[in-house]
Structure 1
Amino acid sequence: MSPVSQPSIKTSYDLVPQVRGPFLWVAISTPTQPWASSLSCTLEPLTAHTAHHESRRGLWNCPVSPSDGPPVEHPAQFRGSSLDTWELWSHEPSHLHPLDVGRRLYTQPLFPPVHKGRGATCVRTVAAAPLDPACPLSPSAGAQAAIVFIKEPTSQDALQGRRALLRCEVEAPGSVHVYWLLDGAPVQDTERRFAQGSSLSFAAVDRLQDSGAFQCVAWDKATGEEARSANASFNIKWIETGPVVLKHPASEAEIQPQTQVTLRCHIDGHPRPTYQWFRDGSPLSEGQSNHTVSSKERNLSLRPASPEHSGVYSCCAHNAFGQTCSSQNFTLSIADESFARVVLAPQDVVVARNEEAMFHCQFSAEPPPSLQWVFEDDTPITNRSRPPHLRRATVFANGSLLLTQVRPRNAGVYRCIGQGQRGPPVVLEATLHLAEIEDMPPFEPRVFTAGSEERVACLPPQGLPEPSMWWEHVGVRLPTHGRVYQKGRELVFASIAESDAGVYTCHAANLAGQRRQDVNITVATVPTWLKKPEDSQLEEGKPGYLHCLTQATPKPTVIWYRNQMLISEDSRFEVSKNGTLRINSVEVYDGTWYRCVSSTPAGSIEAQARVQVLEKLKFTPPPRPQQCMEFDKEATVPCSATGREKPTIKWVRADGSSLPEWVTDNAGTLHFSRVTRDDAGNYTCIASNGLQGQIRAHVQLTVAVFITFKVEPERTTVYQGHTALLRCEAQGDPKPLIQWKGKDRILDPTKLGPRMHIFQNGSLVIHDVAPEDSGRYTCIAGNSCNIKHTEAPLLVVDKPPQEESEGPGSPPPYKMIQTIGLSVGAAVAYIIAVLGLMFYCKKRCKAKRLQKQPEGEEPEMECLNGGPLQNGQPSAEIQEEVALTSLGSGPAATNKRHSTSDKMHFPRASLQPITTLGKSEFGEVFLAKAQGLEEGVAETLVLVKSLQSRDEQQQLDFRREFEMFGKLSHANVVRLLGLCREAEPHYMVLEYVDLGDLKQFLRISKSKDEKLKSQPLSTKQKVALCTQVALGMEHLSNNRFVHKDLAARNCLVSAQRQVKVSALGLSKDVYNSEYYHFRQAWVPLRWMSPEAILEGDFSTKSDVWAFGVLMWEVFTHGEMPHGGQADDEVLADLQAGKTRLPQPEGCPSKLYRLMQRCWALSPKDRPSFSEIANTLGDSPADSKP
């Protein structure tokens, strides 16, 4: 067939369908040239899954791909009722020409599915070449590597409003871009549904927006290749309330006795709910003769309907999602002529005190019904007998009730009761209210900026009836339109001006009276200068002042900056109410730039000034007034000073004599080449310059013979009950005094008791020694110049039993002591040999590892809770734990570890997985139900971390992590509940709380989705969250643990807003965007301190830095730190010392200053977690931003 040329842009071709394995080929033949195209074909409708074309009939839609770019969405379609007759349709004729004239095998299968997205491309041939039937299904030699899906999304169950995750991963993701489709349309990120790496995360599943087929699409930017995963969908379980409505007859007016009445329950859900019907709150059971229940149709049929069926009908339903009841019930009233029927029902009445109230009530029936009024205590009201509190009540013949001069005791419920010849009595109620009005809540003063649109809402007072509201200004009621007007309860300024400032009054009134409240409106102005800060010269050591005087309405707020850093008030800096900065004691380093900012809501002004510090003449540091020199040795006595001019420094003797020849004065340093006794005495250091005069420092030099021990105590072993002698003698000049220290306390000679005595030569004697006297004893010798000490152990042993008659061959007692000494010595030598051998083996293993490291890498040292330290030394906070770990290689430590594991053992057969949360560096992290974990609880929701890696370092880190949580016990730290180590993979079972991680909780709290959004967090609640994290981290640091990955994503929060520090570490998928690949490891770059990322130095202080970032996350509702920067830019800023995050909106200044202290560049300047917890605990809830 030749092409048809007509305006409809329709072109026909002869099509030859072929089946090549599992792939469909369509060769397109034209009169001029044959060509084959890459087709994306689906059959509409899809009648069968088969490879035989003869069974496929219908419409084939085939988008055609151009040769020079990604596929164009539906540029053309092949249409046909059979595979023999086809037509090619296009909206644009040009689409038909740039198509690839080569030969390409289509990569999307019809049947069976393509395995993991693999496609195939045939070798391209010239345009005129005939179709090559021998083109292989596998890629040719010149073809690009296919995209391979490691993990494809799968269909799964989901609950309405709960979290879910569709996972998608590709092999070698380098240049591959992954996006998602829903029913063929791209999925856009929202706060509810967003991409987490290559996976798709749902904070709350929505049955309307998330129904359909999701597909993960991977597109290689380099090659243009595209692969699509299999479709995945949610089986969403939900239930939704609805009203009870009348299905038959069409209207309530058509309801008559003896007719069929059908009610329908409009509660719906998936899976189909089970329904229960109620009349007047009592359940209706199936199988009764007077009604029929159809759960499938959700109907209740009453046949035949009678007055006994009258009542209020409601329904409830439940399914796997939950239970709900009808939102609106149906009241069925079936008339009977002998039944009392309501003609006029009484209405609630609100009257002022001493006014009259009227209730109208009428019933009809055949014969006429009786009518009676009763008060709420069932007291009947008649004209003949009235209770004392209703003496002014009158019942009229038509049934109306009149109350005159109403008092508070008359308020209450009045019932009008109608009784027909048949049927139950009809009771109608109406309430008499006394009008009342409460006081209005006061206004806070308002400050507005000129030219802006502003509104002030007036909250109505509680009152009955509802009070009417209006605004007045200077006694005049405001209009409902204009520049300043009233709209409902709001006072509106369309464009506020300075002249609008003043007092406005909100009025509220009803029958009970009138209330009013005033609000003071201030129109803010931009500050103006009274006195700018000026360049100043301040004297060191004296108070200094910088003035910043401004005026504005309202009174301006003044803040000061020093070197672009905000000055917080402390013992050195004070800011007075007028804006003046006082430096209480000027230091040399205070000489820098200062900037003051004066601001109001209308704007701000600023100015800066430079401070020059006039340095005083002083010693740096002052020489110690008393110093010792060792006799017959070389000695130096330094003296240095600074001033506005460089001072001249010299030494003189106090007695005026000149310095001997062996003593020289070299630029302030007094040098003694060989100290003699005559060198003792008083010396004076004099520093002077021509501008500031001179200063003096007096030093008394003492010549001494430093202490040495003549006799040192030795290791001593003594029988119990005998006397122990520890000898110690020291010499020196001045003569040293000797003290003893035993068992970590100084032995006071005046309090030793009769058993111990210290001789004048310093030796210690202990009579009648006991086992508790064993230990190390230290001899301390000291005089006015120096102190030295030496120590020795004392061992008290039991005396061996002796024979009644000792033979000549019995060894003397000292031989026994000698034997014991030799045995102990041999044991000590053996231990030293074993430890030396262990140390040697460890050094050899470490040397081999270092040889395998690339050049330039530093040797690594293990940290307690995982990860290397690259500066070769562990942090101070974990040295003790590292030491304990290194000693744990012997049998005793192994047994201890095994006993701990056995104690925490939990059978994995009792774990029932629920859903996967993500993937950590160890393996998958999932939620599970643990059966029998806690006494009295059948099932417990737990978090399970699996160890699926065989890497030795990760296995060690995994063990260290569960040992850490096993040792900790704190309300704000997750508990280790159990271990499954009897088979692989190993499981760590941790405590889990119902709201999940803190990051998602913060995101939901600011969500704009009304279905998803929780109550907004107040400043007080945010501080409470941070305080709990600080208390948990204080417990970690007190136990010498370092977290290394503290962030909102690694904290859990409960419905009661209790926060627990955890370590989910979902770095592989859910939160992979928050980790950075650095030095062969994934690290939380944006939460790390400079020394941690650049030097590998992790400590409690690096955890404090991360806590400051966590506080910033809390006050920004889970925003990404440095969200506007790429990871490389953040790393460059850390290297340059530019690390500050901006102050979050609404964050009090006091709390932001605490964050800044956490981000101090020097770790020693950062606060401890105890100090952080105290500061947060003292923070007022209403701190001003």
Structure 2
Amino acid sequence: MGQGLQLTVGLDEAAHHTAGHRVRFHRQSRRHRAANDGALRFEPEPYSKKLELNSSGKIHCKVAGGIAPTVQWFLNDSEPLPKGVTSANGTLMVTDAQRHHAGNYTCRATDGEVVITSNITLDVVIAPRVLEPLPDQQMHVTVGQSVSLNCVATGDPPPTTHWDRNLTILHQQQERVEIEGSANASISRLVLLNNGTLLIRNASEHDADRYGCTAGSAAGLARTELLLVVHPEGELPVPESTGVAGKAVLVSISLAGAYMILVLALMLYCRRRRLQRRQRGEKMELEMAEGREKLVEEGEEKQKVTKNGAPAQNGRLLPHDRDSGADNSEVSAVSRASKKSSGQYDQLTVPRTLLTEQITLGRGEFGDVMLAKIDMTQIMKLRSKDEDVEPQLKPVLVKALTTKDEVQLAEFRRQLELFSRVRHEHIARLIGLCNEADPHYMLLEHTDWGDLRSFLIATRTPEENEEYINRVGPLHGLPARENTIHPLAPRHRLALVAHLASAAARLAHKRLTHRDIAARNCVITSKLQLKLTFPALTRGPNSHEYYKHHDQVIPLRWLPYEAVIDGEYSTKSDVYMFAATIWEIYTKAEMPFAKLNDNSVLERLKSDTLEWNIPSCMPERLGNLLKRSWSKSPSDRPQFTEIYEEMTSIIQEISSESISQHSQDKIERDE
């Protein structure tokens, strides 16, 4: 869909236009950093961290400015580091976290007489473990009976628990669900007890479903599910009957025998297959298969020899219960049972050892956001494409999951779902998920030219930059540079708009919402191809573009009324943000309402007095489209299909005018 638009606007010319720009942009950036290091400072500021008992971890302390500064770590303000904690090149390293390692640590950077310090807190925790229900447990009840679903968990700090039904959290505000001790608890069918038990009185067939028990604390999250089966009256045997136990044992023995027969059959089949491969001379294929089996066996052995105590579980997407000591055999039983089920993200798994040249860009809603490189040929081999080609190092955006907040954890899963379900030339591709250790990493496709916002700022002329500073102040102006970079031509801007419209229309077609469409969350290639992505640097270089509202960090200036005030996100809120991003493209990344502070923007949004201006360089039809997209009522905003069709028409119209003008100029020259 977007490829045709690229041809229409002539992106071959765009690539020619930007070929020289690439060199000038990067050379200027290096020269500018070298000449303007400035005062000694932390960049970024070190963050406090929580480590799982018996796990390892690192805390980075990076400084900028000054001349050859030295960086050291201390316990408290100046005490030596405890045994098991070391410091090298500004990185604090813990090899085997123990209780006595917890405390306050200080990073001290020195440059001659200038000394700066930063204090962080290191906590050693035990991630939550759900003891009851057991993974994939089933409970059977007859219509009309009552049933108690127990949610029991351990951890340090002690976790809180809650129940969900088919991934929808059960809480007091929900219809027909009451909390123990409330006025209606004695007569309600569904009651959440204070000890974590969900009581269902007078069960009906409607109550049959999957129920999840989630335990959460500052140390992480754990979750197991059970299946509640409600039988028609008279079908379920009496639970106290001795015949039930005998039948259960008989069924278990039968299943075990069938499983053993299946294993033996598979062993014989595999042995015969190996013999056939050898006879056909497929020695190489056999060795590769055996190598993979050996890696699996070695991985299982590593899990068996885990020390007492639980490996790190910070930032896990799925609960992987592990043994947590000889004194907790119940947890060990849960661990062994959980290993039988494969994770829903296994098909995305990528070893983090493939990541190289990692650089921290800032911090997002889940944790650190980094830029790294990865060998795509290795990814192809993981996807069963064993082409023998040269290594291809490609940039990749790395989003670390270190948060413990349930809402943000759900958002991480939502973003994974978004990028895994949609494949489009103008949407960043999900490379994979590093989930073999903590924290988990989401890997998204990145580009050689980086984010669209920085690119747009770099294309400002000195005159545009001076005018921008005079109008809104120097805070976000472009630093002075020696070389002039050619500005974007009108057709290039339209191409970028068309790319974004194509990407957003694809998301809408899949009934997905982005919720943070902005120039900072788009990337640009050296061929002037835009791709929609999701770094969302809420802390770092783009932190001034976010606002904390009701304990949520939101892109206030890009959001419509219903998203900010009511928390309602939809395709129509994405339409509003799409229009704001197009406005950024035509204003060279000016921050919306730059003269207003955040509180003023919020008040004007509430009173419906926040007015967008249409840039003079924008085509009239595109300006009218943006005005409709900024309507306060979502129903008055156009659909993305209409936006894409309108963009196609605008590009065709401008292309026809350009051809007509070119022909007229040629006739005049011939005369």
| Shorter-chain TM-score range | 0.3 to 0.5
Of structures 1 and 2, the larger Rg is shown by 1
The TM-score, its normalising length taken from structure 2, stands at: 0.47
The TM-score, its normalising length taken from structure 1, stands at: 0.28
